[in-house]
Amino acid sequence: MFMTHRLGLVRFAFLLVGDQETAEDIVQDAFAAVHRRWSRLTDHGRVLPYLRTAVLNGCRMVHRRRVIIRRFGGDRKVPFWSAEAEALLGETRREVFLAVRALPRRQREAVVLRYYLDLSEGDIAEVMGVSRGTVKSTTSRALKTLAAKLEEDR
C-alpha cells in the first residue's frame, strides 16, 4: 500500500502546500495513523479514501499554521521551487502550478483531487466532506478562474 500510493499522495499534498518536505511529512503522518489503527479497520478497501482525507486535513492544518505564523510572527517564506519539486511535478508546467496555488483553498483542493488524482465527483465529495453539488460548483468556479488567469499570463 505504501509503495503503491505514497508518490501520488505526496504529489497531491505538494500541490496543496507548495513544499516537498512538508508534503512528505503530511503523507508520512497519514500512513502512520493508518498503521496505528490497522488492527481496528474493518474494511481494508476503504484505506485509500481515508488516506486521501487524512492528507487533505494535514494540508489544511499546515495552511492554518502558516496563517497564524504570518499573523503573529511575520511572513515565513515557504521553499517551494527546488530541483526535487520540479522533478516531482513531472510534466506539469510551473505556470499552471502557480495558477492552481493562487486559487482559494477549497477550489484548489477540488481541482487537485479531480485533475491530479483523477477522482470522481462522489469521491471528491467524500474526501472534502461536502456534497457532490458543492464539488461541481467549486470545480466550475476554479476552472473559470484558472482559464482567466492563464489567459492573462499569456
Asked whether residue 86 falls in the same domain as residue 64, the answer is: yes
The tally of CA atoms less than 13 A away on the side-chain side of residue 5 is: 16
Which has the higher per-residue pLDDT, 105 or 96?
105
Cell of 3: 509503495
Asked whether residue 86 falls in the same domain as residue 98, the answer is: no
Kindly report the CATH number assigned to the domain that includes residue 135: 1.10.10.10
pLDDT tens sequence across 41-96: 777 777 888 899 999 999 999 988 888 777 776 655 555 556 666 665 554 467 78
Query: What is the distance between the alpha carbons of residues 125 and 131, in angstroms, rounded to a whole number?
Result: 5
Q: Using an 8 Å Cβ cutoff, are 143 and 151 in contact?
A: no
Domain limits for position 151: 91-154
Residues 6+ apart with CB under 8 A from 87: none
Q: What's the pTM value of the predicted model, to 2 decimals? A: 0.66
Q: Using an 8 Å Cβ cutoff, are 56 and 16 in contact?
A: yes
Cell of 85: 519539486
Query: Domain boundary at 69, 90, 111, which?
Result: 90
Asked whether residue 83 falls in the same domain as residue 44, the answer is: yes
Q: What percent of the chain has pLDDT over 90?
A: 40
Query: Rounded to a whole number, what is the distance in angstroms from the first to the last CA of the chain?
Result: 41
